[in-house]
Amino acid sequence: MKLDVDVLRYLSKDDFRVLTAVEMGMRNHEIVPWELIHRIASLKHGGTYKVLKNLLKHKLIHHDSSKYDGYRLTYLGYDFLAIKALVNRGVFASVGRRIGAGKESDIFEVATEDGTILAMKLHRLGRISFRAVKSKRDYLRHRQSFNWLYLSRLAALKEFAFMKALGEHGFPVPKAVDCNRHCVVMSLVQGHPLVQVKEMPNPETVFETIVGLVVRLAEHGLIHCDFNEFNIMIDDDEKVTIIDFPQMSHELCNEILHSYLLFNAFPSCRYFERDVECIFKFFQKRFNLSFEEHPTDDDDSPVETDQAGWPSFSSISKTAGFLDKELAASGFTRKEQDDIDKFIEGGNNDAGSDRESEDAGSDGESADPVSEPESIEDEEHISAPTISLDPLQLQEKDKAEKSQS
């Protein structure tokens, strides 16, 4: 999706007030009746209709008159609300080029006031695995709070909470900077996704590091659930960074413990197995590594293992659930975990296999009550249009920097 942030500059205070009113109306309306938008926005000088027309022109809202005259936010409208809020908080000052399009997200460079480049990830849950999502609709239909924007916001909150907690525990992840709505701001990781790396000097060492990380996560009762060459970044010094956590689960910890107790075998957790297998296969194929039975046989392994070489039960039980407090501190609670886990489970089954693109945001079916902000007055401060959003300027700066180095 194109994110023309230039438009942001030209949006007035009233434009943002009405856009926020649509967002608020969507808490309990799939399509927000225009009278309600008018009432929530209560513009001092009137003119709601004119503002709506302007928002429509910029594709920030979608008009629907099938049942009554109403509007809903588009993903772009939601993007603008998040970006504006983060800019007003001083998290960044401008948006640059798109640096990645994941399965269910778009990633952009953003720059802070002092010129530091960060990464901004906009979650678009349900965009690609849209069919998987559709099949879940029966389950979701009776859930009042279900909607695309809500789930994208949950995915962002979950990723932010995990990134922060993992970073605090010394895992190599991007630094979690801030989060608003469906948007996560994090440090920019140098290097490339592993999938793009054709050659490296020490594949064995990198492989060991990566498997060591999966195992260390599991020791903490955590499974990435989408651990593959797309979600591992590697720089010129072969430093590894794990990205992309919305599927990560610590609920699965129970499954691990269960299988350990029942079968005395740690790896019978299918998600863990799949994570490890992905890495095995990738290194085997791409770098011709050959393997012994499993990766943790190595005596020098930093991981506490049992006789069979798998992470020991005692180390799992010691740390299982240890992140609960940290996750809750970021506002990611049990309820949110439940909501999103149930939804994402469907996507898990075909993780990595379904890479075609479909935009759920424009199919007219998105039903999106969102639970932010608390009151339109809370968001009043976001509407001062004093920001400089200049993607071109940022790209030029980029080029200049590159030619200098």
Residue 247 interacts with Mg ion (CB under 5 A)? no
Contact between 51 and 43 (Cβ < 8 Å) = yes
Residue 7 interacts with ligand ADP (CB under 6 A)? no
Residue 189 interacts with ligand ADP (CB under 6 A)? yes
Residue 244 interacts with Mg ion (CB under 5 A)? yes
Give the one entry of ligand ADP, Mg ion, none that residue 107 binds, where binding means its C-beta sits below a cut-off of 5 to 8 angstroms depending on kind. ligand ADP
Pairing of strands 232-234, 117-123: unpaired
- What amino acid positions are annotated as catalytic residues? 226
Residue 231 interacts with Mg ion (CB under 5 A)? yes
Residue 193 interacts with Mg ion (CB under 5 A)? no
Q: What is the DSSP string of 189-233?
A: PPSEEGGG----S-HHHHHHHHHHHHHHHHHTT-B-SS-STTSEE
How many residues in the shown chain lie near Mg ion by CB under 5 A? 4
Nearest residue relative to ligand ADP (C-beta): 102
Give dist(CA 209, CA 192) in Å, integer: 17
- Find the Cα–Cα–Cα–Cα dihedral 12, 17, 22, 28, rounded to 10°: 170
Burial annotation 84-101 (CB, 10 A radius, 16+ → b, else e): bbbbbeebbbbbbebeee
Q: Which range, of 58-66, 186-194, 209-217, 276-284, touches ligand ADP by CB under 6 A?
A: 186-194
Least distance from C-beta 226 to ligand ADP, angstroms?
A: 7
Q: Which of residues 119-178 bind ligand ADP (CB under 6 A)?
A: 119, 121, 174
Residue 152 or 305: which CB sits closer to ligand ADP?
A: 152
Distances in whole angstroms, Cα of residue 116 to Cα of each of 96, 355, 392:
12, 32, 16
HEC secondary structure over 333-376:
CHHHHHHHHHHHHHHHCCCCCCCCCCCHHHCCCCCCCCCCCCCC
Give dist(CA 184, CA 245) in Å, integer: 11
Give the one entry of ligand ADP, Mg ion, none that residue 186 binds, where binding means its C-beta sits below a cut-off of 5 to 8 angstroms depending on kind. ligand ADP
What mask of x and - would describe binding to ligand ADP in positions 242 to 271, judged by CB under 6 A? -xx---------------------------
Give dist(CA 141, CA 321) in Å, integer: 31
Give the one entry of ligand ADP, Mg ion, none that residue 56 binds, where binding means its C-beta sits below a cut-off of 5 to 8 angstroms depending on kind. none
Which tokens belong to 309? 């070489």
Residue 103 interacts with ligand ADP (CB under 6 A)? yes
Give the one entry of Mg ion, ligand ADP, none that residue 256 binds, where binding means its C-beta sits below a cut-off of 5 to 8 angstroms depending on kind. none
Least distance from C-beta 247 to Mg ion, angstroms?
A: 9
Give the one entry of Mg ion, ligand ADP, none that residue 104 binds, where binding means its C-beta sits below a cut-off of 5 to 8 angstroms depending on kind. ligand ADP
Q: Within the chain, what is the greatest distance between any pair of CA atoms? A: 75
Least distance from C-beta 162 to ligand ADP, angstroms?
A: 12
Give dist(CA 37, CA 25) in Å, integer: 7
C-alpha 70 chain-centroid distance:
29
Decide: residue 173, CB within 10 A, 0-12 exposed, 13-18 middle, 19+ buried. buried
Q: Which range, of 84-92, 96-104, 267-275, 311-319, touches ligand ADP by CB under 6 A?
A: 96-104
Which tokens belong to 225? 């659930």
Residue 102 interacts with Mg ion (CB under 5 A)? yes
Residue 20 or 231: which CB sits closer to Mg ion?
A: 231
Residue 22 or 189: which CB sits closer to ligand ADP?
A: 189
Q: Residues interacting with Mg ion, by CB under 5 A? A: 102, 230-231, 244
Which residues are at the interface with ligand ADP (CB under 6 A)?
99-100, 102-105, 107, 119, 121, 174, 186, 188-189, 193, 230-231, 243-244
